[in-house]
Structure 1
Amino acid sequence: MNIKHFYDKALAQGSFAIESEGQVALVDPSRDIQQYVDFAKQHDAEIIAVFETHPHADFISSHLEIQKKFGAVIYVNEKVGVSYDYMHMGHGDEVKIGAATVKALFTPGHSPDHNSYLLLDSKGNQKAVFTGDSLFVGDVGRPDLREGAGNIQVSRKDLAGMMYDTVHDVFSELSDDTIVYPAHGAGSLCGKNMSSELSSTIANEKANNWAFQIKDKDKFVDAFLEGQSFIPKYFPNSVEVNRKGAAELEKSVKNATRKEAVEIPKGSIIIDARLKEVFKKGHLKGAINIQNQEGDKFETWLGSIVGPEEKYYVVAENQDDLDFAIYRAAKIGYESNLEAGVVNPQGEVVTDALVPLDDFKKNPDAYTIIDIRNKSEVEDGKFFNSAKNIPLPELRERANEIDTQKPVIVHCAGGYRSAAGFSIVKSILPNAKVYDLSDAVEQFK
């Protein structure tokens, strides 16, 4: 039996392949299927099953494409209310994958329709549990994403209570040496205290995960609900896309409209995916800079700034960069509301002044300082006492709250988000003097 862990750093998302006797099962596959196809070929095996833990909010799954291409059976809890052909797996139900057995565990709390999947070897020994968004390394999946999305909508307080039962009645009963494979790691917005470790054991989680330590249910619920991060705009939409099943990734990316040297209509949402240094030297008026490099969180911030019902354009440096941006947008289902990707767009070009750093250091009170970090980050400490906190996902809606009587300085924690925040403020308040503190924020921590 072979288990392969695939990890998408940009989305902090893990998926898995299980191979036994020439048969492969996938757990929570990401939208790009090529890595799973390669794994099956490597083992001279056939993909026969996909196990979905729940309808994911933060990425688009490829379960429907895999079913159509390979005839794989999709296993999911019927409570999800899906639109595709599937086999229901309720608590205790089992499926054979070669000599291995996959056993469903009903584990609500992150969502009301959540399954985890326990992997048993040929002798019935517990080898691993694929916990989806229920149990993470050091944390459990947030309970506030299903109050307005999905087939079943439940209050966060009720889901928090379900999670307590899941932790103490289901996961606590598993063998201590069972490996824990969650769907996310540190950096994901599906939890708040995830470890940088990508796997664990039940014994380690019992000893170190806060959720196992609180034995009183009311105290657990209070601790669980406190301090959750913002919910990106795209999350509810992804739940619905995953319930229906997404179109084939390669065709969706290939069919996206691409243009060169055209003028983008005024009033359009323009996402400029170039490096911030390039962006500041010249960009279309009103463009929003979300940098799209390998290590950047382009998908998360695209889906946090632009709503799933909004049409937008993407500008890139060249055709390869444009293809990469469209591919990454498709990972969260955002290729469907892309008007066009554009290289070398025509129109009014503006440049951005560099932050007057020396003057700002001497006279910080002469500036309006906007801190675009998340509320939870600001609660851990402000860099400037006078700063007004407007989190980046709220900035397009709240930019008019900014005092423009003084020059405006925008900052985040390290410089990546401030490039987007600065460009949003400039686009909405074109007559204001706006500066991006960028990575110079490190000098003020």
Structure 2
Amino acid sequence: MKIEQIYDKALAHGSYAIVSEGQVALVDPGRDPQPYLDFAEKHHGTIVAVFETHPHADFASSHLEFQQRFGATVYINPKVGVSYPFLPLQHGDEVRIGKVTFRALFTPGHSPDHNAYLLLDEAGKPHAVFTGDSLFVGDVGRPDLREGAGHVKANRKELAGMMYDTVNTVFAPLPDDVLVYPAHGAGSLCGKNMSTELYSTIGQQKEENWAFHVKEKQAFVESFLDGQPFIPKYFPYDVELNRKGADPLAESIERVPRLASAEALEKGVLIVDTRNQEAFKAGHLNGALNIQNKEGDKFETWLGALVSPTESFYLVAEDEEALAAAIVRAAKIGYEKLIKGALVNPAQAPVKSDRLDLNEFKAHPERYTIVDIRNQSEVATGKIFDSAVEIPLPELRDRSGELATDKPIVVHCAGGYRSAAGASILERKLAGATVYDLSEAVKEFK
């Protein structure tokens, strides 16, 4: 038996490939099938099973592609209500893969239809548990994502209570040496206190994870619900996408229209420009939204947070290679179907962004309307400018009308990435206003 964690840093998503006797099982695979195919080839195995813990909200899964292309069986809790062929696994049900066994553990709390999977080794001994979004290293999966999505809906208080029961009746009794392999790590919006460690043991979590230490159920629920991060627009969309199953990746991205020039763009349709902020400021298409596609950033998350799954958009990049990469990243959250057309930014893009005179701003900040687009939890740790108007970036497109335009506007975040998007939103929304991006210079004011 061999286990490999396949980790997507941009989405902070951990999936798993397990091989025994030439049979390969996957747990919560991401949209791109290639890493799992590479694993199977390396170990001379065949992918025969996909275990889904629940319909994920933050990424599109490739489970349907593995079923359709390779004949793999998809296993999932029947409460999910999927529309593709599957085999149901309820609490205690087991599946043999090679010489190892997967035992389903019903673990509601993050969602009402969640399974974890306990892996029993060749001797039948509990070896590892694939916890999905139920148990993380340092946290448990947030309970507020399924109030308006999924086949089975539940309110956050009900789910928080379910999570208390899951922690104490399902996970706590497991042997301390059982490895914990979660679906997410630090940086994911599926929890709030996740460790940078990507795996752990049940024993370590009993010692270090807050969820095992709160003994009174009502106190657990209150602590659990407090301070959860914002919910991106695309989360309910991805829940439904994963219940139905996403199209094969390569075929779907091939269907994205490629445009030769900006002349083909339809007026009024949103433009998402993925270039770096300096290139964007030097020249971009009118009304474009700047969501930078840089290595190590959160492009997928911010695309899905700022662009609704009900609106189509044009996708712009620096060159053909960057454009292809941006389409794939959009597809990781199922957004390739929303792309009305993809094109390379024109050499002579008509709009240039205003540049801030930093020395003037430092000397007279009162002459500017300062907009803090950090999340509420970030602002709670301390304001950078006392006079700043607070509008979190995910709300800025809808709340831009709250800003006065009698003074130049300066947008800031914590490090410079988000403020590029924020400034571009206000450029588009507040016609005639002077809008500046403080960018990385914000670090000089902390």
Provide the rounded CA distance (Å) in 2 between the counterparts of 1:115 and 1:284.
46
Map 1:34-183 → 2, pairs under 5 A: 34-183=34-183
Taking the aligned partners of 1:296 and 1:259, their CA distance within structure 2 comes to: 26
Structure-2 residue corresponding to 1:435: 436
Q: 2:290 is matched with which residue?
A: 289
Quote how far apart the aligned CAs of 1:87 are: 0.5
Aligned residues: 445
Give 3-state SS (helix, strand or coil) of 2:142's partner: coil
Counterparts of 2:65 and 2:226 in 1: how far apart (Å)? 38
1:20-31 alignment to 2 at 5 Å? 20-31=20-31
**Which aligned segments of 4 or more residues in structure 1 are displaced greater than 3 angstroms?**
344-348
Distance in structure 1 (CA, Å) of the matches to 2:245 and 2:391: 35
Match of 1:184 in 2: 184
Structure 1 range deviating more: 258-267 or 296-305: 258-267
The answer to whether the 8 Å contact 2:323/2:344 transfers is yes
* Residue 227 (structure 1) shift: 0.3
> Deviation digits for residues 269-297 of structure 1, max 9, x if unmatched?
00000010100000111101011112121
1:243-270 superposed Cα distances (whole Å, 9 cap, x missing partner): 0001000111112101122322222200
Measure, in 2, the Cα distance between the counterparts of 1:37 and 1:348.
41
SS in structure 2 at match of 1:417: helix
> Is the CA contact 1:13–1:185 (under 8 Å) kept in the aligned structure 2?
yes
Q: 1:131-280 residue pairs with structure 2 within 5 A?
A: 131-263=131-263, 264-280=265-281
What does residue 306 of structure 1 align with? 307
Aligned to 1:316: 317
Q: Tell me the distance in 2 between the aligned counterparts of 1:73 and 1:180.
A: 24
Residues 284, 345 of structure 2: 8 Å contact kept:
no
State the Cα distance separating 1:94 from its structure 2 match: 0.5
Alpha-carbon distance between aligned partners in 2 of 1:179 and 1:355, rounded to the nearest angstrom: 51
Identical-pair percentage: 63
Q: Are 1:376 and 2:377 matched, yes or no?
A: yes
Q: CA deviation at 1:362?
A: 1.4
Tell whether the 8 Å contact from 2:233 to 2:304 is kept in structure 1 after alignment: yes
**Is 1:395 matched with 2:413?**
no
SS in 2 for 1:351: coil
Structure 1: gaps of 5 or more residues: none
CA–CA separation in structure 2 for the residues paired with 1:352 and 1:341: 22
**Aligned mates of 1:344, 1:258 — CA distance in 2:** 12
Asked whether the equivalents of residues 261 and 346 of structure 1 are also in contact (C-alpha less than 8 Å), the reply is no
- Equivalent position amino acid for 1:408 in 2: I
**TM-score normalised by the chain length of structure 1:** 0.99
Offset at residue 346 of structure 1 (A): 8.5
What 5-or-longer segments of structure 2 have no aligned partner?
Answer: none
What CA distance in whole angstroms lies between the structure 2 residues aligned with 1:95 and 1:348?
57
Task: Determine if contact 2:25/2:50 at 8 Å carries over to the other structure.
Answer: yes
Give a deviation string over 1:321-357, Cα, whole Å, max 9, x none: 1111111000000011110001134996111122121
Give the Cα–Cα distance (whole angstroms) in 2 for the partners of residues 348 and 201 of structure 1.
54
Alignment check: 8 A CA contact 1:315 1:345 kept? no
1-side partners of 2:425 and 2:262: how far apart?
23
- Contact kept, 8 Å, 2:128 with 2:181, in 1: the verdict is yes
Structure 1 match to 2:413 = 412
Whether 1:19 and 2:49 are equivalent positions in the alignment is no
* Structure 1 residue 376: Cα displacement: 1.1
Provide the C-alpha distance between the structure 2 equivalents of 1:399 and 1:300, rounded to a whole number of angstroms: 21
2:283/2:349 contact within 8 Å kept: no
- In structure 2, distance between residues paired with 1:353 and 1:241: 40
Can you list the C-alpha shifts for 1:5-64, whole angstroms capped at 9, x where unaligned? 000000000100010011000000001001101111111111000000000000000000
d(CA) in 1 for partners of 2:310, 2:326? 19
Checking the alignment, whether the CA contact within 8 Å between 1:262 and 1:346 is kept in structure 2 is: no
CA contact (8 A) 1:185 1:197 kept: yes
